[in-house]
Each structure stands twice: as C-alpha cells, then as structure tokens.
Structure 1
Amino acid sequence: MLLVGILVSSCGVSTQSEPHAVELPRRPLTEPRASAATEGRAGGVAEVLCMVRDNRLVETVRRLDAPPTPQEHIDHLVAGPTQPERDRAMTTALVGSSLEVRMAGDATAQVEITEADEGSARSDETLAYAQIVCTLTSRADVASVLLLRDGDRLEVPRADGSLSRGPLYGSDYTALIAPA
C-alpha cells in the first residue's frame, strides 16, 4: 500500500478534496475546426445551427455578441440559412413551422410544434425533427428534447426509422449527419 501511495503521489497530479468543473473543447459535428464554420458578425458566442444539404444535416456556426435563449436559438433555425449559408447549398426542412420552446427543470427542451398547413404530409419530416433536436442539444443547457403538439408528445421518427415519443437526443440522428 505504501508503494502505491508513493507512486500515485509522485505522478505530478495533486489531489483535491472536492470535484471541480472541467470544460471540454467542443468540436463541430461536420467541421474539423470551429473557425472553419463560423460566419456572420464577429462575436464572442458561438451559436450552432443544424441545416440541411443533400438530405443530410450539416452544422453551421454563427457568432453572436451574447448567448441566445433557447427560444431565440430555435427562432434563428426556423428563419433558415443566411445568404452565405445558401451559397454553400444549405437549406432547411422547417419552412412554415412555428416552434415554441419551454425548458423543463431537467435540461429538457419542450418544443411545441405547429405548422402553417398541418394537414400536409412531409417527405423531409425526419430531417425537420433532426434539425430541431440536434440544434437544441448543441447547447450546454439542453440534454434532450421533447416534441409536442397541443401539449401532447408527438411520435417522432428517428434516423433509423423507429418512432419515439421522446425524449430525443442528438445521438438519435447521428446517421443523418454529413461526414466531415
């Protein structure tokens, strides 16, 4: 035991009586370097948005002066790609959607979905849900997403085609993310 104690104390890592937070670097989903995906006005906060290109999710990072609220973040997503993003062939599957975000105490974003034409079928439904889930779970304060209509949980397709009433995670849509 004495030998183990000596070896552990000699490795150069000091012991601490209490845990401390560790900030890990965040690598964008589709870009090898965060700076390669940034655009817009220069700011100190990165806002990650998942757009669509060639029926796959692609990440774009916009720079803001202050962190957006979850509602502002989703509003930026629904607004669609900027001109430079459109020039890179990015689109959105959220045309005509109205989304309202409420945060639950357990880091779950509850997203109420209404559409301009609720009776129409969408061929890109999975991509639309993936955009919402992957964008919101890119935030440090959101771990999962519940999608609702009129307060009831929606049965939502995941990337593998299975249906879920949630909660949904970014990992549910990994297969839809374009390779870097």
Structure 2
Amino acid sequence: MADRQLIELTVNGAVHEILTEPRRTLLDVLRQDVGLTGAHAGCEHGVCGTCTILVDGEPVRACLMFAVQAEDHDIRTVESLERDGQLSDLQQEFSAHHGLQCGFCTPGFLMLAEGFLAQRPDADRGEIREAVSANLCRCTGYQTIVDAVTATARRRREAAPSTEDSGKEEAS
C-alpha cells in the first residue's frame, strides 16, 4: 500500500483534512472524499474540460492536478456558484439561453466561464467564443453557451458601478 499523506484543502471556503495517497487526482478527492460531484470525470486526460474547477481563480482541469498540489490554494467547484438556493447569474443565463442539453459538460463550462469573466469582464463575443472553445460539448453546438456567457458578461457590466458614479460619490 502506498504511503498516505494528510493534506488540508480549502474547497468553496470550507477546510477539509484528507488522508490520501499522493498519486490521487484532485478530481478523485473532490468527488470521493469531499463529496462534491459537480466536476465530472470525462476523458481523464485534460482534453474535454468536464472536470474544470477554479484554483486561485484560474480554470484548472482537476483530472490533471494531484490533490497534494492543491494544498494552500483556494479551490472553487461548481457547487460554489449557487447561494442560498439561488442560481448564480451565470447559471441563470445558461438556463435562459438553453446553454445545456445533456448537462454532462455544463459544470466545466460554468467554471471555465466564471474564471474567464472574472479576468476579462469586458470580453467581447469573439473572445468569449475563443475561451469556451477550450471545453468540449457534444450536444449544444456552442452557440447557446456563447450566448449565455455573453449575456452574463453584459449583465455584470450593467450591474457594476461605473467609475464615473464612484467618483461622484467620493466628491459628495
């Protein structure tokens, strides 16, 4: 039996102590030990993106990262998007734009888009199309996914206070 290592993972704001073999992937530990099954095991080679999560805000393929590598990092899974029983704006737009069909790839697309929009809130449709092309979907043809992410970007920009408004408030 391989040696086990005690690791501490911060997942969706909660700390988990896990005794695991160093060879286990972060995806396996999230699903089997932490009990968060939103990230799916697809190709298990980092190609499809169904296992995409955020590590320190960056989209990462959880099937390619060892759990021991994730210690001391902030991990977010698709389960972090829903708050108090309410879907996030991104999840709402995926639903409104029919950005999912079978749903297998959806968690990966949601986390890819969440990380991308956090870094590029002003992204245009072409940049969004390029970003989502990193994940694979066999059902939707991507158009509805691009529509959903574009609508979320627009929605977030409209909800954000403008720099002009904040300057007026400071002057008051």
Query: TM-score, with normalisation over the residues of structure 1?
Result: 0.26
The higher relative CO (CA closer than 8 Å, separation ≥ 6) is in 2
Larger strand share, 1 or 2 = 1
TM-score normalised according to structure 2 size: 0.27
More helix by share: 2
